[in-house]
Structure 1
Amino acid sequence: MTTGLTEALKSLWSRERRGYVINNRIAVFVVFALNGAAFGSWAPRMPALAESLRAEPGTLGLALLGASVGMVLAASFCGGVVERVGARVGIAVPLLVGAAALPVIGLAGSVAALAGVLFVLGAAVGVVDVAMNVAGVAVERAGGKAIMPVLHAGFSVGAMLGAGGAALAAGQGWSITAHLGVVAVITALVLFAVIRSVPATAAATAEQPAANGKVARRPVLWLLASIALCSAIAEGGSADWSALLLVTEHGMSQGAAALGYAAFSLAMAVARFAGAWTQNRFGAARTLAGGSVLASVGLLLAALLPGGGYPGFVLAGAGLAAAFPIALGLAGAAGRRADGSGGEREIAFVSALAYSGFLLGPPMIGGIAQLTSLSMSFVAVGLTTALIAPAAVAATRSLRRERVAAEEVRPVVPSGTT
């Protein structure tokens, strides 16, 4: 783990033949962190929002659904837009829109108004997510080594910083509007400082069609989407239900139970820093399969073993760390064109299906718990994450077959012709 973390940090400062690439890599890492901070800043203020709106948990949950729906819809339709305008514009415009929406959350006078604001914020985050992954794939291609897990660690770091800032603001008695207004200003200033160093990526033209035909007709993309989907179900379920599991099934206090998801998040962030080294050393399929086994074991420990809550969620966070970034990196590789560009539509397709996991996971766990128990719900989630391993093997094999087929049909230009 220490070696992987060291290699990951070195990769941000490595030197290529054409000069230092620190700007591109760190700029994209910062963008990932900004997107994570956007979520980490407003979500912890939900108690204050509930109090100001006098909303019951069920009603507030419907408002929160607005953010998830916005993310799914935006990711579903933004691939072509990002392909046309490039990753830099695809990041800058929606990130500024999202920053502007943050302080409006505190001004929402009703649950319906809050749902509308969160829908806009979720849509902005969804577009940024696709565009920043496109930029990450461009950086990865330029460097010739896997770096997507390290970039996704930036999201985790940003989320933790945003949550820490939210806790500090709440402790100082700041209003939601004042707190999120400061976050919005900081986000805009940092974005302006780094956006020029983000890869613009080449815009598609009529002479540069998307690779290998229609996106939805390609089995490899469905396999990659299933990997990200299973990971999202487990991550969303752990976020929403881990504390209740630790209270009801392990007898912990509410304060101690809250640390379960904190341990999960910290393990995921650390493992993502080491994920690039692991992927470069063992390959994508082995990294995903190993993480799948680790996450499944961890969730089963948390569900079934007395005293297994903390270690189980640590193992789960570490095991799931690489699933989402590697799946999106492989999706970008599946859309790569001969000129080195491409992948926007493929990343958007996989992202949109994966986001549905954040919608499906929490209610799925709740439904199973209603019929059986919360422990059995997490057993089901653990078995779901086990599906990542065979999907990873099948996806990498399918991607290799596509590449071989593409090489076989590529026309050979006779010597002497122009």
Structure 2
Amino acid sequence: MDASVYLKRAVYGRWAVACAFFFNGFLVGSWAPQIPVFMVRLGISEFTLGLLILVFGLGALAAMPWCGYLIGRFGSRAVVQGFAIFCSFSLLLVALAPNALMAAPALFLFGAVIGGMDVAMNANAVEVEKKLSRAVMSSSHGFWSLGGFAGGALGGLLIEAHGHLTHALIVSLIAILLGLVAFRYMITEDEPAVQEKHRLEFPTNPLVYLLGLMALFSMVPEGSVLDWAALYLQQERGADIATAGFAFAAFSGTMSIMRFLGDGVRNRFGAVRTLRYSALIGAAGMAVASLAPTSWIAIIAFAFSGLGIANMVPIAFSAAGNQEGTSSGVALSMVTLMGYSGILVAPSAIGFVGGKTGFGPIYMVLAGLLVVVFLMSNLATSADKMRS
């Protein structure tokens, strides 16, 4: 194939996978404004709502291990496209559920297809990095954050103006349009993975599990800021509700900005150095937030921490997708599974412990987890192996 045509396809593939990340984030962001309506419509308690949201997370975690097998057999492009079809209608199914009994399987399916697509699109981003010989993973995750922001902002307006069903239908139509326009330009692996191709297997390379541990330690702080930072500021630092809400907003805002800048930083300084300094920045921010005497100092500290945490998971994913002797799909399915349990499962345990000890000590422990990632950063050397 002519080199210019090869490069052109890779560039198109880069923007197609960015669209896949936006698509996935848009659907998750669109679910967030549905939650209050969902609770009132079904007449359920906060406890039942929490269980149903946990079902969503369990669906994602259940689907992720299977994606390595699917990617090895069909390629990441086909798996992204297949999951995207179901994703397009999954929120509508949740919105149509008439009671909690029907909502549970709908949410499980929603989580499963979102989680499955997540693994496949990360595998595809690794393939794009190989084709372009440069990093695109961080900015791809930035597009996920952008999609989440767009979904949440549009969702609130549409639900208020037209109701939850119309909103879910419009989300499905937007998702279908995005898929039809962009996903046909996605690239795929040059040849199918040889190992772990014909059966469901777990990775045999122990480094994959260590990278998964790095992803877990990087994502637990993110989930903890999402779920508990506002409560921490309100109960332990005397913030009002409006001020407490700035904790995650500041954290996610700096994360989004840094993810779009992160590929350039990583291309210049390398994955290991970027991960090392990112971990230290994230740990310093968490430590200051845990000791902050006022709510605004804590908010600034959370924002500073977001600058560091932003690119840690993308680097871990790139490193997993470039392991020799293991298909990128199999490695990424395990690392994604381990990492996302930090957002989907760990915050529940943190909430229980924080209710006993307060959240200040919790955030200091989370700073310690990020120091562990700093100490493990040399394991991410393979993230720089982006050439085919």
TM-score (normalised: structure 2): 0.91
From 39, 42, 48, give the equivalent of 1:59.
48
Structure 1 distance, partners of 2:70, 2:113, is: 13
- Indicate yes or no: 2:69 matched with 1:88: no
Cα deviation for residue 114 of structure 1 reads: 1.8
Cα deviation for residue 202 of structure 1 reads: 4.1
Contact 1:104 1:177 in 2 (8 A): no
Structure 2 distance, partners of 1:223, 1:217, is: 12
Q: Which structure 1 segments of 5+ residues have no match?
A: 1-14, 404-418
Deviations 1:36-58 (A, max 9, x none): 11100012221111111121111
> How many residues were matched structurally?
376
Q: Which structure 2 segments of 5+ residues have no match?
A: none
Question: Counterpart of 1:328 in structure 2: which amino acid?
Answer: F
Question: Counterpart of 1:331 in structure 2: which amino acid?
Answer: A
Show the 5 A alignment for 1:4-403: 18-20=6-8, 21-172=10-161, 174-202=162-190, 204=192, 208-209=194-195, 216-305=203-292, 306=294, 307-335=296-324, 342-393=327-378, 395-396=379-380
Structure 1 distance, partners of 2:190, 2:101, is: 40
SS of residue matched to 2:97: coil
SS of residue matched to 2:135: coil
Identical-pair percentage = 28
Q: Which has the larger radius of gyration?
A: 1
TM-score (normalised: structure 1): 0.85
SS of residue matched to 1:308: helix
Cα deviation for residue 197 of structure 1 reads: 0.6
SS of residue matched to 2:322: helix
Cα deviation for residue 210 of structure 1 reads: 5.3
Question: Counterpart of 1:199 in structure 2: which amino acid?
Answer: I
Deviations 1:216-254 (A, max 9, x none): 332211121011101221111111111111211222221
SS of residue matched to 1:204: coil
Contact 2:230 2:247 in 1 (8 A): yes
Question: Counterpart of 1:392 in structure 2: which amino acid?
Answer: S
Structure 2 distance, partners of 1:135, 1:25, is: 9
Question: Counterpart of 1:97 in structure 2: which amino acid?
Answer: F
Deviations 1:111-130 (A, max 9, x none): 23222111101110111111
Find the counterpart in structure 2 of residue 8 from structure 1: none
Cα deviation for residue 103 of structure 1 reads: 1.2
Question: Counterpart of 1:195 in structure 2: which amino acid?
Answer: F
CA RMSD of the aligned region, Å? 2.1
Cα deviation for residue 325 of structure 1 reads: 1.0
Contact 2:159 2:166 in 1 (8 A): no
Structure 1 distance, partners of 2:305, 2:163, is: 35
Question: Counterpart of 2:354 in structure 1: which amino acid?
Answer: A
